[in-house]
Amino acid sequence: MEQSIKKKERLTLTDFARVRLKGTLDAIGGFLNRLGVLPIQMTYLGLLGHALGAFFLWQGDMTTGGLVILVLAPVDALDGTMARLRGESSQWGAFVDSTVDRYSELFVFGSLIFYFASTGNVWGALFAFLAASGSVLVSYVRARAQSLGFDIKIGLLSRLERYLILIPSLVFNVPMYGMAIIAVGAHITALHRIFAMRREVHRKQE
C-alpha cells in the first residue's frame, strides 16, 4: 500500500489553487477541447513560451521576459485538465508534462545564469544556479519517493510558489532578489522532503 504523509500535512498552496481554480480550468480546458486543441500541444506551447521568455532574459530584458512567462506559464495547468476531460489521462502524459516542466524552469534559470555571468555578476549567477539546482531537487526528491511508494510533497517552495516569486522579480526587474529567495527556499524544501522521506521509511520499518 502506498505510504503517504498527506494526513499530517496542511493543504499546500498548489493543492489549494488546484481546488479553487478547478471550475475555471475545466471551462477553459473544455473550450479548447471543443476547438480541437490537443493537450500535448498545450504542453509544448508552455515550453515554447518559457523558451521565448528565456530569450528576453538572456538579452537582459527582464520585464518583457517576465511578462511573457506570466502570460504563458498558466498554459501548463491546462494540459492535464484537458486530458482528464477527454478521458485520456495517462502515465505517459503525466511523465511528459513533468519532464517539460523541468525543461521550462531550466530554460529560465539557465538564461539568468548566462546573463549574470556575462555582466560579471558572480553572486547573481551563483544564486541562479542554486535556484535551478534546488528547483530540480524539489521535484526529483518527490519523484524518487513516489517510485518507492511514498508521496512526499511538503515544503515551502513547490513549483507554483517558486513562480509566485520568480515572475514578480522579473517583471519589476529585481531578478537577483528572486533568485536568492528561490535558491534558499528550494533547497530548504528539498531537505525538508528528504528528512520527511527518511521518517516515513523508518516508520514503515518499525
Widest CA span in the chain: 55
Compute the 3-state secondary structure of the chain and give helix, strand, coil in percent, each to the nearest 5: 80, 0, 15
Spatial distance between the Cα atoms of 151 and 22, rounded to a whole number of angstroms = 22
Query: If residue 203 lies in a helix (H) or strand (E), which one and from where to where?
Result: helix 175-205
Beta bridge partners of 150: 3
Give catalytic residue positions.
101
Buried b (16+ CB within 10 A) or exposed e, 73-99: bebbbbbbbbbebeeeeeeebeebbee
Q: 3-4 and 150-151: which strand pairing? A: parallel
> Residue 75 in 3-state DSSP?
helix
Spatial distance between the Cα atoms of 156 and 12, rounded to a whole number of angstroms = 8
Q: Give the residue from 152, 142, 148 showing the smallest Cα distance to 196.
A: 152
How many CA atoms within 13 Å lie on the side-chain side of 174? 9
